A and B are shown apart, each in its own frame.
Chain A
Amino acid sequence: MEHQLLCCEGETIKRAYQDTNLINDRVLQTMLQAEDSYLPSANYFKCVQKEIVPYMRKIVATWMLEVCEEQKCEEEVFPLAMNYLDRFLSVEPTKKTRLQLLGATCMFLASKMKETIPLTAQKLCIYTDNSIRPSELLQMELLALNKLKWDLASVTPHDFIEHFLSKIPIHQETKLILRKHS
């Protein structure tokens, strides 16, 4: 019977449309509350990390954004990956040579959480110019999950955009532009 099961869905990824029922103050309050449990510590450069300093975070963040844009990831993937990165660095002293590996791992996880067809380990390794191997990425994935307590449903600034836009009395088209810039 199996051979008769023909899949007719195309290659394009179908996205659910925005649920306007979710844009209300009750949801916003819940999100604000939930956000607190996913905040990284503000002073991890001083208190936790010995090698990593702010400019290194900036370099790896810029690289991560480039990868996400080139791979046309869903827009929430990048902020989510950054949240994982900061939360990891808040608890685990990390060598600077492992920072890119960590960045790749965070994108790997964020993409799995948000995308229908997530980034593959192999693809991410290519973006590091093969300086990391897929096996290292998978190991790091387990370490990161452990440090993040397997809790990946972070609330990120991106999640608030729709809520804030809905509160600004402007025209729909202006909203689209504003959304792009935010």
Chain B
Amino acid sequence: MDQYSILGRIGEGAHGIVFKAKHIETGETVALKKVALRKLEDGIPNQALREIKALQEIEDNQYVVKLKNVFPHGTGFVLVFEYMLSDLSEVIRNSQRPLTESQVKGYMMMLLKGVAFCHENSIMHREWPAHKDASLSGIEHQSFCMVPGNTMKVAVGCIFGELLNNSPLFPGENDIEQLCCEITELPDYNKITFKENPPIPLEEIVPDTSAQAVDLLKKFLVYPSKQRIRASQALLHPYFFTDPLPAHHSELPIPQLGGKRSHQRLQPPYEFSVDRPLHESLVDPGLIQGHAWGCF
């Protein structure tokens, strides 16, 4: 811990407090996630051990947050992540004007690229990320793609809907209420009673949305996982190839963490490189191979 000087508190995640800090030796800014142990008597929880391993396994990728280090601290441990300027829930909650269609496409593309990368590396997560009132709260600060996976793709759909609408797609007071919108096939489903909920056409839930966006959304919100669209296929959906085209990183708003001010950034964001722009905003040709045939 003496290797870092704390610069401030970023927020609180599901597992602990997140701090902004500087690595003294290199001067690099990082996010420190202090994980406290819930059950002191049995040490480090097994989920944490497995999740750290998964994070270690993910190589450098622009769209996936990098775990830089782990070290014990007190009775718990600290995860060191690369520092991110903001997160998507901030973007949605704090953008003064609604996001433009082109910006939504830009964010979706980044999200899908991250998920596709994790899946290529055989990493998936079965956590239901739709917490409380905002499906994004489950995807915390640094973790654009820390918890990707199968249900994650339904989650991708929820996030997509949220981006389109600027509000949660399936608002529910709690997880259970949220579930009733989607899951009816699980064995214990009947154990909880729900009011009869006739399906609402998606077009009504996300009004003012292009037909292609609704089409893609439908492909995400499919319960049987085999029929659900794959992240790599989704990146090839006509939605991303029709006008307005996805916005480039530099055109995406970055709200201040903590949500005090939100403004369109005029300068290119951190890590912007002129050598990269065009092909990074478009689909990686490698992804097309093997999918292009059956996709359209």
Contacts and interface: CB of A to CB of B under 8 A. Distances in A.
A59 to B, nearest CB: 25
B197 interface: no
Given A121-B42, A121-B43, A138-B43, A1 B53 contact: no
B192 A120 contact: no
B42 A5 contact: no
A150 B56 contact: yes
Interface residues of B, number: 24
A151 B43 contact: no
Nearest to A30: B122
Interface in A128-150: 134, 137-138, 141-143, 145-146, 150
Interface stretch (A89-97, A105-113, A156-164, A173-181): A105-113
Counting chain B CB atoms within 10 Å of each CB, which of A120, A141, A145 scores highest?
Answer: A145
Interface in B43-66: 43-46, 49-50, 52-53, 56-57
Nearest to A118: B46
Interface stretch (B23-31, B68-76, B103-111, B130-138): B68-76
Contacts of A33: none
A138 B191 contact: no
Contact of B75 (A109, A138, A151): A138
Contact of A120 (B41, B45, B52): B41
B46 A4 contact: no
| SS of A interface (majority) | helix
A31 interface: no
Given A1-B174, A138-B43, A146 B191 contact: no
Contact of B44 (A4, A8, A141, A153): A141
A8 B188 contact: yes
Contact of A1 (B41, B43, B45, B192): B192
B83 interface: no
Given A137-B43, A146-B72, A150-B70, A4 B191 contact: yes
Interface in A1-20: 1, 4-6, 8
A16 B40 CA distance: 30
Contact of A142 (B45, B57, B77): B77
A61 interface: no
Q: Which of A1, A6, A122, A134 has the most CB of B within 10 A?
A: A1
B152 to A, nearest CB: 20
A153 B41 contact: no
Contact of A5 (B40, B43, B192): B192
Nearest to A137: B43
A22 B72 CA distance: 35
For B44, B70, B192, which residue has the most chain A Cβ atoms within 10 angstroms? B44
Contact of A112 (B49, B56, B72, B77): B49
A5 B191 contact: yes
14 contacts: A1-B174, A4-B191, A5-B176, A5-B191, A113-B49, A113-B50, A138-B40, A138-B43, A141-B43, A142-B72, A142-B77, A145-B44, A146-B72, A152-B49
Interface of A: 1, 4-6, 8, 108-109, 112-113, 118, 120-122, 134, 137-138, 141-143, 145-146, 150-153
